[in-house]
């Protein structure tokens, strides 16, 4: 009887330890996926961060006036603000259901770039 209790206590302890350790592991993994350590999303600047992301990944197709892909031009702040306000910028780069996945025909933007755009919009999508 006493022996059984000792075993049960140790098993109990082992389970608790296991939960604690695996819990910590999970937390760290999630944190890294959501906020890559080298990805600074505080006070995101349009000119320093967002404009280069769009220039490098979107403007090749989304420029040229009426000839731009989907009729959408993304060559300056005012044009980009249009797809910020209708929700299509975030929807398309996150590949959300109901949006055309962008950039078209190539791999999704990096987690950091998507986080930067998300944070910039949350911070007011300023022309900063």
Contacts to ligand HEC by CB under 6 A: 57-58, 60-62, 69-70, 72, 83, 88-89, 92-93, 99-100, 102-105, 109
Instruction: State both tokens at 107.
Output: 């791999």
Q: Could you tell me the smallest distance in angstroms from the CB atom of residue 108 to ligand HEC?
A: 9
Q: Could you tell me the smallest distance in angstroms from the CB atom of residue 86 to ligand HEC?
A: 8
- Burial classification of residue 122, based on how many CB atoms lie within 10 Å of its CB (0-12 exposed, 13-18 middle, 19 or more buried): exposed
Q: Could you tell me the smallest distance in angstroms from the CB atom of residue 51 to ligand HEC?
A: 12
Q: How far is CA 2 from the centre of its chain?
A: 54
Query: What is the C-alpha separation between 93 and 53, in angstroms, rounded?
Result: 11
If the CB atoms of residues 62 and 116 are measured against ligand HEC, the closer one turns out to be 62
């Amino acid at each position: 009887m006493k022996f059984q209790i000792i075993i049960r206590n140790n098993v109990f302890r082992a389970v608790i330890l296991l939960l604690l350790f695996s819990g910590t592991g999970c937390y760290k993994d999630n944190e890294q996926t959501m906020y890559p350590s080298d990805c600074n999303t505080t006070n995101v600047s349009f000119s320093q961060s967002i404009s280069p992301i769009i220039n490098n990944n979107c403007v090749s197709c989304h420029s040229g006036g009426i000839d731009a892909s989907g009729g959408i031009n993304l060559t300056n702040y005012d044009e980009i603000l249009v797809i910020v306000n209708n929700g299509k910028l975030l929807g398309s780069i996150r590949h959300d259901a109901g949006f055309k996945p962008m950039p078209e025909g190539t791999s999704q933007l990096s987690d950091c770039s998507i986080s930067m755009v998300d944070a910039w919009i949350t911070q007011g999508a300023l022309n900063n």
